[in-house]
Amino acid sequence: MVFTESLKENYQFKRLYRRGKSEAGLYVAVYCLRNGMNINRLGITTGGKLGKAVVRNRIRRRIKEAYRLSEERMRRGYDIVVVARNRSATTDYHHIESDLLYCLQKLGLLCEMK
């Protein structure tokens, strides 16, 4: 991803949960907060209730790919955490992608295309 780095530290996730704006869809919940940089930082969380490691990793790959494809249209300078919800384990990529885009749009992270 060109304009995005990873969120790795636990305190970064906690800060987003505590102070960030959030939007939830059927398959994902998205938290965002300005970071004062010219790049976005992305974190993806999948809880143990979603299934075994194979299932959780598949969901992470789908979320990451949906984000990557929409990265050019996104505003820069935000920390973003995407939390996979239980329904994401049994759905296909297109539902996850549309839900992620819906949440990003509601949070004002997607720029208008001309």
Does residue 68 lie in a domain region? yes
What integer is the mean pLDDT of 21-46? 94
Does residue 113 lie in a domain region? no
Structure tokens, 5: 């780095």
Does residue 114 lie in a domain region? no
pTM for this predicted structure: 0.91
CA 49 – CA 54 distance, rounded (Å): 13
77 Cβ neighbours under 8 A, 6+ residues apart? 34, 35, 36, 37, 38, 39, 40
* DSSP assignment letter at 51: -
The whole domain housing 19 covers 4-106
Confidence of residue 29 (pLDDT cuts 50, 70, 90): very high
Does residue 111 lie in a domain region? no
> CATH number for the domain including 26?
3.30.230.10
| pLDDT value at residue 1 | 72
| Each residue's pLDDT tens digit, 43-100 | 999 999 999 999 999 999 999 999 999 999 999 999 999 999 999 999 999 999 999 9
Confidence of residue 113 (pLDDT cuts 50, 70, 90): low
